[in-house]
Structure 1
């Protein structure tokens, strides 16, 4: 039982060191941002996170006059 716990702790410690190589051994190193807005490729494709999309949707007016006019003109024709 004690052997299993020690092996598990050793494996976890090795994984933490390997994950943190850049942070521990590079001056000024830091973990890369896991957030969508921190990814240059996704920003170039116009993909943003759900929180940003929700904020934009809440700030966007529900109706615009051009949409209402277009709908009315289409329904009359």
Structure 2
């Protein structure tokens, strides 16, 4: 019987929380769910912190810039035999 009380209390608390979020979204002007993604945080952007996918793309872009191939000359058979 004790476990049933705990489960009902947990369900009631979750219900109150969900109701509070729903009311906030419905009644606030421009109400929407908050952006909790790393890319949506202005403070992290200012410090140069991005999500893992964006950081990977930036690292690959920088690696491509570093790989600049020099002009390659092919040795022909006649030049190799000299």
Which TM-score tier does this pair reach, normalised by the shorter chain? Answer: 0.5 to 0.7
Distance 2:43 2:22 in 1: 24
- SS of residue in 2 equivalent to 1:54: helix
Distance 1:47 1:6 in 2: 41
- Say what the alpha-carbon RMSD is for the aligned residues: 2.3
* Runs (5+) with no aligned partner, structure 1: 66-77
In the alignment, what sits opposite 2:71?
A: none
Q: How does 1:1-77 map to 2 (within 5 A)?
A: 1=1, 2-60=4-62, 61=64, 63-64=66-67
Pick the structure with more helix per residue. 1
Instruction: Give aligned pairs, total.
Output: 65
